[in-house]
Structure 1
């Protein structure tokens, strides 16, 4: 009986971790890159057209690094803390 409960618990934990990691990679690939590239393109169209090229490239590089790191932190935060709905659905699906 105890081994059955432990096996079920291991299955649930495994599903939660697999779901979180999958969600994390998908989120990083879609949200982070899309957000950063969109922000970068908007910035290129507005800021860089009115400033010298060297200053613009330096600033744009800094902006891209900031956007990527912000998006990565955002993705990690939301992916590593699964919602109660997704946890409960994983528990129910493991039965």
Structure 2
């Protein structure tokens, strides 16, 4: 398993409990679950950073461009989730 830089996070009790439960159910480490959850969000994190930096510097055109990119990323992720759910629904109906 690849070693990543370590980081300390403060999380709510609810998040910690859910991560532990998911780890127990899946057999994956909590760290790998967090990486798996955050990695798909990386494009959104990058665009959010760009947007904030643009706004801070007064470049509102660049900030709007980042917002447009965030909307596209969100729409693409929603479409992917909808396709995944359709696949699950089809599999479930075949099992009946």
TM-score by length of structure 2 reads 0.40
**Structure with greater helix percent:** 1
Give the number of the structure with larger relative contact order, counting CA–CA contacts within 8 Å between residues 6 or more apart: 1
